[in-house]
Amino acid sequence: MNRGSFIGAVLALGVLPGATCAQPTHAERYAAVCAACHGAEGASAMAMTPSLGGQPSFYAITQLFLFRDGRRDSAAMTAVAKGMSDEDLRGFSDFIATLPPPAAAPAADPARAARGAALAARLHCNACHGAGLEGGKQVPRLAGQREDYLLHALRGFRAGTRVGYSQAMTEALAGVKPEEIEDLAHHLATFGPQVFK
């Protein structure tokens, strides 16, 4: 990293000792710190990295708190969140909630997507995640999320290794076969606004 980039990153984080300039907004800090992985508009192009666009503020702040507290397993996110104040958690989560939902990927395999939709109906995913799988309050948006990330998260919940608000996700996925989880992730990633307009 060159000197200019380093100073820009430090200023974006608002941690330059003795700095007298105005503090950057959370939108500016997001652009400097978060966008490289999560996308400038909240649509991630990076493998295994979730899209943040369309996530409810309450869900985002809770996840940032869990990362700051070391209760979610991500060295990168824990490193980013550990120095955040409560005001930062609120500022970033409020900004994230303004990002547009990512566009759903086209279904690469319509049969898998259909099987995943049937499983989502059987598991009553929309009871918590909403009719459009848009999430709300402490429940994440699933529609249009990266498929690789969804698959990783669902496998973690099924195995009981992913932290949630309760055991609801682990209980919901108990007995679901691995290939069914793959179908479910495919359905969720390809479920977009065009499905429920």
Length of the chain: 197
Residue ranges and CATH numbers for the domains of the chain are 3-38+56-96 (1.10.760), 110-196 (1.10.760.10)
**What is d(CA 68, CA 80) in angstroms, rounded to the nearest whole number?**
8
Q: pLDDT, tens digit, for every residue of 25-60? A: 999 999 999 999 999 999 999 999 999 999 999 999
Q: pLDDT, tens digit, for every residue of 6-20? A: 344 444 555 444 445
Q: Is pLDDT at 100 greater than 70 in this prediction?
A: yes
Q: Is pLDDT at 1 greater than 50 in this prediction?
A: no
Q: How many CB atoms lie within 10 A of CB 27?
A: 14
Q: Is pLDDT at 91 greater than 90 in this prediction?
A: yes
Average pLDDT of the residues in 160-178? 89
Q: What is the pLDDT of residue 193?
A: 56
Q: Select the more confidently predicted residue: 78 or 166.
A: 78
Please tell me whether residue 136 adopts helix, strand or coil conformation: strand
Tokens for 186?
């495919």
Q: Is pLDDT at 5 greater than 50 in this prediction?
A: no
Query: pTM (2 decimals)?
Result: 0.84
Tokens for 40?
């400038």
Where residue 114 falls (left for φ over 0; alpha for ψ -120 to 50; beta otherwise) is alpha
**What is d(CA 96, CA 197) in angstroms, rounded to the nearest whole number?**
23
Q: Select the more confidently predicted residue: 3 or 126.
A: 126
